[in-house]
Amino acid sequence: MNSLRPHMRSSWQTAIRRPFGPLCQHAEKRATACVIKTYYSSKLMVDQKAPLRNEPVCRRTFLYNNAQSTHSILTKRAQVGIKGRASCSTEATAAGEPTIHAVFENVTGTWQYVVADPSTSAAVIIDPVLDYDPASQVVATSSADTLLSLVKEKGYKVERILETHVHADHLTAAAYLQKQLSQEQGRKPPIGIGKRIGPVQRLFGRRYAVSPEEYNVVFDVLFDDDENFHIGNLTATAIHLPGHTPDHLGYKIGENVFCGDSLFHADIGTARCDFPGGDAHTLFNSGRKLLSLPDHVRIWTGHDYPPEGREVPVPWLSVKDHKRQNRHLKDGITEEEFVSMRSERDAKLAEPRLLHQSLQINIRAGQLPKPTEYGHRMLHLPLKLNDGNW
């Protein structure tokens, strides 16, 4: 077992990389007229010894039902010596549409989202990341603190923290954010997840010897399929999207779906399906459910691992983009072809780098393990023996 060590800020720096393995290296290599302004930027932590260089920006314009959308996209990575955190903000002027802030956590390749109602400043946070270094066992909150700073800067009141599923490639910061926000706002925002979370918690609770008292009732809201809820004056809907995991949800807010680990960028395709309870046939059906939405709906992904030839992570593509370009689910690919392709790929994937640590923290909704009598907070890590036991 390894002991977690809290730290106020990250003590390591890691370039954008692809996570490994079976649960969460998930991949291989209408309506209302509105104006959507999308801004991409890179907030940089600078090594003072490294030269600063400006990054060129490419601007592109899109039309949705005669409504204009402008993208500003970074075309180069941060220079050596600079740690970048890509971010994207989308401001909508139409009633019923949210303001969206996407913040990329580059160690685990995770997109985190702050989604707000511009008319009331009510907001939700989706899939936040808790920083963790497996070499030193240091737990840090720099990624979560970035979200808190954004919320404070914009004057938002966070009404909920939403998880799409129990992640296996990063630790969730949901419990940390809930505590901090309850102190700052005077009200504890509930943590929500899908109603099928119980069997997942029990499975991994037994596997890692986690006491049920540490994971029972840690999630405050368990969403039913197609359940509606409100973010200020916005209406949101929980959508069951199984396949990667049996409990997996997406959240539709206005003309946007936050799909978690189901669809990825079109040049990657889809998430893996070899999680316990995962199923390629089911993921195909979930993918087609998403792609049956109107063409202009934006699908915001949970991860991105830019392949060779694409320099920066991208948080969303439209339904139309996916139907034309998604390498796994574009129009014309049959269910049989998808299952064969996905199964062959999954069989070759290695274990995620943070598999065991992530599952133990995430079934607890991000709460830390109870301390031992010596004050240590422990995680179980299985040994891997090449040549039997002795």
Give burial (CB, 10 Å; 0-12/13-18/19+) of 268. Answer: buried
Residue 116 CA to residue 89 CA, distance in Å, equals 11
pLDDT tens for each residue of 294-353: 999 999 999 999 999 998 999 999 999 999 999 999 999 999 999 999 999 999 999 999
SS3 205: helix
Which of 39-43, 61-65, 87-91, 269-273 has the weakest average pLDDT? 61-65
Residue 107 CA to residue 79 CA, distance in Å, equals 16
Q: Which helix (H) or strand (E) covers residue 325, if one does?
A: helix 319-325
Residue 231 CA to residue 159 CA, distance in Å, equals 7
- Cβ contact 52:58 at 8 Å: no
Residue 6 CA to residue 139 CA, distance in Å, equals 5
CA distances from 379 to 52, 259, 370, 371, 376 (A): 40, 29, 10, 11, 10
Residue 245 CA to residue 249 CA, distance in Å, equals 9
The band of 388, judged by pLDDT with boundaries at 50, 70 and 90, is: confident
pTM of the model: 0.82
More confident residue, 34 or 235: 235
pLDDT tens for each residue of 165-181: 999 999 999 999 999 99
What pLDDT is recorded for position 33? Answer: 33
Domain 2-379 has CATH 3.60.15.10: yes
Q: At 125, give phi and psi (nearest 5°).
A: -115, 135
What pLDDT is recorded for position 1? Answer: 63
What pLDDT is recorded for position 325? Answer: 98
- Find residue 180's DSSP bridge partners: none
SS3 371: strand
Which residue type is seen at 141? T
